[in-house]
A and B are shown apart, each in its own frame.
Chain A
């Protein structure tokens, strides 16, 4: 590995942290509107909701990819141009995205469910700019993903990279869990971005034919959630791939080996995650009933291989270890535990009978904020902390570890708790204000504002410390 990958990873991480702060500020403003602390109006609320959702999904996806690219470059030579194109596309895409939301007021939500983009009260160029932004992001990320797959396939066959020889016990090259999970995740990433490609083509056709063509809402919704749900799951797995590589080192234990059950579980995950998105269409009676059953069953099976094996591995690693608890190892350990809690919330929501009650309540943002804000984000912050300790000019101060970790956990837990309570009290999601029937939503939003502010404070300190320790390396 040459220093260029250190610099490019540093650039990705600094960019990620800055955009994350902006996206938190958007989310905080939305909760302040719901808490009746500020008055921005419904249009600006949905503008913020669209920007917040897309920035969060995008920024933690690229953070996961940056981690994968960095670790992979320590195994094999990785072509640099994939990451460069992805970075250029990400910056361009984000700028156009923010223009489409803040200047042209595009506000159809982060997954722009069909046919909302055509009905939103927005400047005429808004939907087109939004689609262009997504296209640029998609092209960059697809190229990046294919370059990393190409790198793995230059060294292993498909069956080797999927660890089939480890599962069957046949001889073959040792494939680390990092390679296996990265390969599985990158295949999923490619599939979901291709779903977005098909989706965007259909949007463009309808947009350009201005009324003479219409799409089937059922198809569009299937493609939207194939893309959205799968992407969000895969970006978690990207973070886990890096965890499998780094966590045993932090505990002073030997590197994980790919056993048959690790191989089997991640191969199962590859298949299961592609079908689990059906649970987003429970309300769509026109969806074939067989798909609904598949969504229910796959949602139940989804956490078994990846989550159970990972939790088991992490716990056994910590048990009787010489772990020196750093910010990185703390974030990894607690990230896995919060991921499990969020996963239980997700499974409860994915049960058809529960979904009829919980679907439009704050239970939904509760569970996905748990495994994103306290799970996936923690994985990437853990990688960034480890990376800063490796390449920075000095280690993080122990006192700062306690402050940052306390703020992130306290703020994060309190923030998602307000959503869970909202879900239990049937407070609806995706509304900018609450009427008297659900006025408990106001006080819960006020509670959320307090805890989100703690989390934001923790992130500002983290970002400042990270930048202070590493920025010099970027220009060295």
Chain B
């Protein structure tokens, strides 16, 4: 029963980490989108919501497979291209938009859709944005050690959805529902030290589990049963003397 409730509730709940980023306004950074043309992020999100992901083309690790997977999922979505923009940003100043396009599996014969933008962040302005988007980057000689994030930025410049790692189907579904302004439930996860919360999220295992709060919903009923049994025990001795075979009253 408990497992079933956890599973059912997990279907409706979000990762608690996301609440650290939701509704934060992204800084208006300058982005290089070709060798000599630039665009400001605010000019992009003012037109349409943007799905932003970050990668760099020299990455020997996760960037290439991650970007290909993201590309496949986004292209499979039924949401029309004119409803959103997809933006792939590099935090490596030595990168170029053309290299990012190539890394995403596009070429002259298979160009990226019109709503896709590839750009490189300027070194001086990237730090604030990366921190706000939750990208943890560490320089290792010529390369970078980093995590991967996918962020939905609304037309007001605020983060509407934040996913670390490759989204699963449920997260993709929620992201696009958020994008099309469908109702998306969000459960505030509060401080993790709140011992009265009904659920706790274990980041290590990724599972929700019941917490003391859920037990406290049962407490009144359990206490009542205890009190009734206690009263029964207390009254046992006197009951035989007073018990009437037919207690219907006549003296009303």
Contacts and interface: CB of A to CB of B under 8 A. Distances in A.
A287 B8 CA distance: 10
B188 interface: yes
B231 interface: yes
Interface stretch (B102-110, B111-119, B218-226): B218-226
B245 A173 contact: yes
B77 to A, nearest CB: 23
B197 A195 contact: no
A454 interface: no
Contacts of B47: none
B140 interface: no
Given A216-B196, A216-B213, 6 more contacts: A194-B224, A218-B187, A218-B197, A219-B196, A223-B216, A289-B11
A156 B239 contact: yes
B231 A149 contact: yes
A1 interface: yes
A219 B224 contact: no
Interface string A317-334: 000000000000000000
B220 A286 contact: no
Given A174-B248, A187-B228, A390-B252, A155 B242 contact: yes
B12 A286 contact: yes
Given A149-B231, A154-B238, A286-B12, A192 B220 contact: yes
B5 interface: yes
Given A146-B227, A274-B221, A285-B185, A219 B246 contact: no
Given A74-B252, A153-B235, A194-B224, A286 B217 contact: no
A255 B224 contact: no
B229 to A, nearest CB: 7
Interface string A167-207: 00000011110010000000100111011011000100000
Contact of B245 (A1, A154, A174, A291): A174
A149 B228 contact: yes
Interface in B202-252: 213-214, 216-217, 219-221, 223-224, 227-229, 231-232, 234-235, 238-239, 242-249, 251-252
Given A187-B228, A289-B11, A76 B247 contact: yes
15 contacts: A76-B247, A154-B242, A155-B242, A174-B248, A179-B247, A195-B219, A195-B220, A216-B190, A216-B196, A218-B197, A218-B198, A218-B213, A219-B217, A223-B216, A255-B248
B194 interface: yes
Contacts of A176: 247-248
Contacts of A214: 190-191, 194
Contacts of A202: 196
A176 B249 CA distance: 10
A115 to B, nearest CB: 11
A290 B4 CA distance: 8
A24 B185 CA distance: 39
Contacts of B188: 217
A223 B232 CA distance: 27
Contact of B246 (A174, A218, A222): A174
A146 B231 contact: yes
Interface of B: 1, 4-6, 8-9, 11-13, 185, 187-188, 190-191, 194, 196-199, 213-214, 216-217, 219-221, 223-224, 227-229, 231-232, 234-235, 238-239, 242-249, 251-252
A253 B12 CA distance: 56
A370 B57 CA distance: 69
A190 B227 contact: yes
Contacts of B252: 71, 74, 249, 390
A216 B197 contact: yes
Contact of B9 (A222, A289, A390): A289
A289 B12 contact: yes
Contacts of B246: 173-174
A282 B46 CA distance: 36
Nearest to B237: A154
Contact of B247 (A153, A155, A191, A192): A155
Nearest to A219: B213
Q: Which 10 A-B pairs have the closest CB atoms?
A: A285-B185, A286-B187, A195-B220, A194-B220, A289-B8, A216-B197, A219-B213, A191-B224, A74-B249, A288-B9
A215 interface: yes
A187 B224 contact: yes
A288 B8 contact: yes
A158 B249 contact: no
A338 interface: no
A194 B220 CA distance: 5
Contacts of B198: 216, 218-219, 222, 286
Interface in A207-242: 213-219, 222-223, 226
A226 B221 CA distance: 10
Contacts of A274: 221
A153 B227 contact: no
Contact of A215 (B194, B229, B238, B251): B194
A150 interface: yes
B230 to A, nearest CB: 10
Given A173-B244, A174-B246, A289-B12, A158 B213 contact: no
Given A173-B244, A214-B190, A216-B190, A286 B235 contact: no
A153 B231 contact: yes
Nearest to B187: A286
A219 B197 contact: yes
A1 B228 CA distance: 25
A76 B242 contact: yes
Contacts of B12: 285-286, 289
A1 B232 contact: no
Contacts of A146: 227, 231
Contact of B243 (A149, A173, A192, A217): A173
